[in-house]
Chain A
Amino acid sequence: MARQVDADLLIIGGGGAGAKAAIEAHDLGLHVVMLVKGFLGRSGCSIFAGNLNWFGPPGDGARPRSEAERQKQTLEFLAKYTHYLGDQEYMKNAARFTFDHFYPWLEERGLYILRDDDGAVVVDLPHGTQAWATKMGMSGQIIMDMMRKEIFRRGILVLEETAATSLLTAGGAVVGAAALDYRRGEQIVVRAKATILATGHSNYLSLRSTGTREGTAAGWVMAFRVGCALQNIEMQWYHVSDVAWPRSWMRLHLYPNPLPGTAHQTRLYNRDGELFFDGTSVPRNPVPYIMQLKALVQQVRAGKARLDGGYYTSYRHIEPEVVRGHIYQTQFVEKLGLDPLRDVIENGVTWHMNVGGIRVNGQTMQSDVPGLYVAGSVSALVTGGLPNVMYDGYVAARHAADEIRGRPLPRLDQSVVERDLARVAAYFRTDPEGRLLPAQVIKRIRTVMWEHMNYIKSDATMRRGLERLQRIRQEALPRMHVGSPSRRFSYDWIEAVDAEDMLDACELMIRFSLHRKESRGGFFREDYPITDNARWLRHIVGRLENGALRLEELPVDLRYAKPAEEVADFFAVDY
């Protein structure tokens, strides 16, 4: 028997998008319930936000320029950031929101945007594209702590350590979600007039990944299963300059962007000590992450670096007061016994974010399924970014509030509810025949993705990856057990659910990847090393039809920014 909770608005996810939606909806008078797989404001990618988008408010004194100029620069940057697949109208509105709402709303409540002693906002030089909340690397953590407290202050009901396991439908609409409170070992059903899915990036799918451990693509899979379309999920993003070891620090990012108050960027050296990437000397370098990746591929092919090590970041040329005072990562380097002003730090690539996700209406955050909104990086609008995802949450909450005003609570379809509760309950296997912890199965899945769906891919490696995933599904999944009969804090139970979700998500991702026969930014195929804007500047969209994935291509709206080239060598373009 599952506990039932009713709400006007159900929000699944406790990162930037979900938190902003909750505050907005509550302040509009809605009864809100949040389901958070980890801890509100402590899980997901939001806490990792290092840099905050900054193109300066118009006429901020530092670099006076017109609103039109600022917008144009912003849109070109954002278009390249998403390899021209981002929703440009959405990006324009989100960029407006960043200055009209995000910064003032947070600063009014006490957020401290790093200033120098004369009071000027510290930005990167000379272009002023980034700012920071107190320290480079701490912006997300501080902002999300503020959001957490603002939510608790309002008395909003937050069910933490409670993972949504399925979206519930009735009469073709989403009417809530089934969930597992894994702290107590109890299943819960939440019924709501509208639901906002804000589960964040589906990062944790490869051996080396950023984000937190619960980002296992449940959002994609839950939405897909109820009829939503996924878009461009093959467009993985990778970090190059993440720490190679220890293992748990693989998500520690040594930012390649220009550093606070300087025009300097970090430098990359290969196995032989040769400098192979210096962002300041790349003529067009709007998206340093992608330029680093392209440079790294050349080194890996020459045998002078590996994807999991053998190349190094250096801060040695940077002002000591910046390294010591403004950068969160410095303490980690020192903890390993290294001096960032004298030593280099070994790196490995990590899978970081995704340009694609659930297809949504960029003006309203509505999905294709009535009753379901999508906010934040789980959608296909843009790569992510804390101000952007908060914009999503803000918009979704407002539209949901308008939509459900005066509506009664929906009726649940009990057969749908019972089906998901039974599905999740069945994962709680303790029989001694079972021999694998879900954590072991998950590691196998992530190993396959690291070996077959890494930055450097080909048709052959991807198909082999599909085969290996299929074998895991057939042989390993049935052998999962939770290892103990205790229902208290059985994270193993949740991981059993995750393992199946991850298999589904990874298979979908590989199928999307096989379809895109080109390379684009964070997506690279050795067998198609060209960026082909003539043929492939399209959205790859897939949904469930008659129990199988059906893929189609849809046009991309390029109303504000277009790529300069039609077809080009992948390594020759700067996005």
Chain B
Amino acid sequence: MSTRSVGSARDGEDAQPVVRATVFKFAPDVDPAPHYETFEVPLARGMRVLDVLEAIREDLGQPISYRWLCGVKKCGLCAMTVNGRPCLTCWEPAEPDMIIEPLAGFPVIRDLVVDRDAVDARLLDVDPFLHRPEDQPYRGFPEPLSGAAMRRAGTMMNCIECLACVSACPVPRERFIGPAALVQLARWAFDPRDGADRAALAVAGGIAECADCGDCTAACPAGIPVKEIAIAGLRELCIRSGYPDAGPAPQEKCRLVVPRGRDR
């Protein structure tokens, strides 16, 4: 189904460029099967993928279900799969031709809305709270702390839990807690004030299963070096803490796991 737009040209341009979006639709309570619908909307200046979806609803009056709240890369709720890749739709520019699908690797609630519950629960499994050693209690604000000592943890704090990295990760979830949970774990592991056994949590989370493919880093819209800093840093911590098997995956493993990964 193709629906032509009725917008007028901006900036007095003669030939109005358009964006063509083919969108996954599926309402399990009324549709027998998923299907795709194609829409065209005028290309606005700097248009994000999210703006295209909004135009389809607000201007074309066509219903699509999707999540978004902040529009500026803070809430982490608008990640979808666009042209086969995980995409934070408020962050990435609209492309002239797009296939927009629910974020790969998650059960579909309706259309572009996925069920995050199972993965959100994992983010809590890494004990994402500060545990101060008993002999280093908090003595009041502001506590002694340096910017240099907090730099790595600060990088981890850029994570908005959008789960694009989890979508990209090829390792089966039964064996591996996933990159987002490890970024959250690293945020505390790298915090000089924390005294919990973060290495044990990394090992329990299956850090040895990570194939080091780097697809998480490539997918992260916040530019966090997930593999190179979060996971590598945790591996290092594990080895120092006496878990020798948590080291970097041999290249062979990466070659085996990636093609056989979850959605490939």
A residues near B (Cβ < 8 Å) are 38-39, 42-43, 47-48, 57, 60, 99, 103-104, 107-110, 112-119, 121-122, 134-135, 138, 140-142, 145, 149-150, 152-153, 183, 185, 212-214, 245-252, 331-332, 335-336, 435-437, 439-440, 442-443, 482-492
Contacts and interface: CB of A to CB of B under 8 A. Distances in A.
Nearest to B66: A491
A48 B70 contact: yes
Contact of A104 (B31, B63, B140): B140
B146 A117 contact: yes
B57 A252 contact: no
Contacts of B62: 437, 483
A336 B75 contact: no
17 contacts: A39-B75, A108-B130, A116-B147, A117-B146, A122-B147, A134-B154, A135-B158, A213-B71, A248-B48, A249-B46, A252-B72, A336-B46, A437-B61, A440-B57, A443-B58, A489-B65, A489-B113
A38 B69 contact: yes
A42 B77 contact: yes
Given A245-B44, A251-B71, A110 B130 contact: yes
Interface string B114-135: 0000000000100011100000
Contact of A251 (B72, B144, B154): B72
Contact of B145 (A115, A183, A335, A483): A115
Nearest to B132: A108
Given A103-B141, A149-B128, A248-B71, A112 B154 contact: yes
A449 to B, nearest CB: 15
A246 B61 contact: no
A29 B70 CA distance: 33
Interface of B (DSSP majority class): loop
B142 interface: yes
A175 to B, nearest CB: 30
Interface of B: 27-31, 44-48, 50-51, 54, 57-59, 61-63, 65, 68-77, 90-91, 109-111, 113, 124, 128-130, 138, 140-148, 150, 153-154, 157-158, 160-161, 188, 191, 193-194, 223
B70 to A, nearest CB: 5
- Top 7 nearest A-B pairs (CB, nearest first) are A483-B63, A110-B130, A486-B27, A246-B46, A248-B71, A212-B69, A104-B141
B44 A99 contact: no
B75 A47 contact: yes
B211 to A, nearest CB: 28
A331 B220 CA distance: 13
Contacts of B130: 108-110
A492 B58 CA distance: 11
Contact of A488 (B27, B45, B154): B27
A484 B27 contact: yes
Contacts of B146: 115-119
B148 A117 contact: yes
A112 B157 contact: yes
A118 B72 CA distance: 32
Q: Which of B47, B62, B147, B194 has the most CB of A within 10 A?
A: B147
Contacts of B140: 104
B54 to A, nearest CB: 7
A427 B141 CA distance: 51
A436 B27 contact: no
B113 to A, nearest CB: 5
Contact of B69 (A39, A109, A153, A249): A39
A67 to B, nearest CB: 16
Contacts of A335: 91
A153 B62 CA distance: 40
Q: Which of B28, B71, B154 has the most CB of A within 10 A?
A: B71
B3 to A, nearest CB: 13
A463 B186 CA distance: 57
A335 B57 CA distance: 26
Contact of A141 (B29, B61, B74, B154): B74
Given A42-B77, A245-B45, A482 B63 contact: yes
A246 B124 contact: no
B69 A42 contact: yes
A47 B147 contact: no
Contacts of A252: 72
